[in-house]
Amino acid sequence: MKDIDIVRELAKEYAEFALGGRNAEMMRLMRGVNGLKPARPAVYIDELPWHEMNVNGELDLLCAGEPFKGWERQLRRDIFRKKHFPADAVFAPHIPVWKAVHSTGNGMNAVEDVLAIDAKNHIVAHRYHDQLATEDDLEKLQTPVITHDEAETARRLAVAEEVFNGILPARPQGIGAVHFNPWDDISRYRGVDALLMDLAERPGFMHKIMGRLLEIAEAGVAQYEALGLLQANPCHVHCTAGLSDELDRPEGAKTTAKDVWGRGAAQVFGSVSPDMHDAFDIAYQARFMGKFGLVYYGCCEPLHDRVDKVAKIPNLRKISITPWAKVEPAAEAIGKKYVFAAKPNPAFVAEGRLDTALVRNEIRGVLDACARHGCACEFVLKDISTCGYRPENIFQWEKTVMETVLNR
């Protein structure tokens, strides 16, 4: 069977549900959550250990060359997800064709040692070497030059339109969310020990690093806008659905930063006080995120004791609440103002047989707290480094959580 025949058959199977009524219902559900008017809490699963998930060869790749292999991989994963753990996943009703965007980079590369316990898993332990130890090192940080190869984008789109003709439309994909996670970058450039020590001992120097990274981020957004690379209302924004009535744009209208999501986080700041978090990240996020239509803040850092600080960010809509956060004070602080973006504990699916009672208790605790305080809520199981080569753990988690949410 030729590569084109393989991907066309998979696309036909994908189109059956991507163009179907249930997918349209899930899109409406996510729009409701993002608009603070949810029909019910939504459930998402993302960041999966796909190398552990292959059941009965369903994820085996048969195509020989690109771009067919890339299309095949994504289509097989989406079909697999729909079959085994759909939750409230939103599936794009088209074939995405990513624009040919290039960047010269910011001049920095992490220098690291890694330790892996599973050669098939890209999740590894890191030890970073400090590349920003002195003020002279700040000169290493350069403003990237971003370009768009329009001819290459047109070529990619033409190929996709020919391959998927009569099955699904092909659409060029731009940047639907702009990320500003400078402390993730600083952690890689410096290492966590040096970063945390200098927050206390050299605060002025750390502010200079942040100031430079803010300048770089602002220059990047300006270039995205000038090149027409931003895209309103993407189906996905880093482990959630990006769909929003507030970000709808007429077909063909110019898209600006006000039409897309801003996405911020400071994961290493789970180890600093609320005031330090405010001074070294929220103050910069507040300056940057005012450019965007809606903002989603937080990742793995507990934010229950600093929602008042996070609330200083303009256009804030979602706040991440991790497994290490305290649910009740988080729900009380979030109330009806923002989406309570709950991150259930991925360790529950990591090894051995899934304890469904433990999963139900965790989900019910969040549901009850959100009900008491009127929070719009979504659950996103993510950061699944491993399922212990037991994909059935994830399947059972999805079934357990959906039953808990729907039968509450």
Q: How many domains does the chain have?
A: 1
- Domain at 104, CATH number: 3.20.20.210
Q: Which domain holds residue 235?
A: 3-406
Residue linked to tokens 């991989």: 73
The helix-helix angle for 327-334 and 356-373 (nearest 10°) equals 30
Of 54, 60, 140, 67, nearest in space to 100 by CA: 67
Distances (CA, A) of 314 to 8, 295, 311: 44, 8, 8
For 287-313, what is each residue's pLDDT tens digit?
Answer: 999 999 999 999 999 999 999 999 999
pTM value > 0.75: yes
Kindly tell me if the per-residue pLDDT of 251 is higher than 80.
no
C-alpha closest to that of 141 among 104, 169, 172:
104
CB 130 within 8 A of CB 191: yes
pLDDT in tens, 131-177: 999 999 999 999 999 999 999 999 999 999 999 999 999 999 999 99
Percent residues over pLDDT 90 in the chain? 91
Q: What is the pLDDT of residue 328?
A: 98
H, E, C per residue of 203-229? HHHHHHHHHHHHHHHHHHHHHHHHHCC
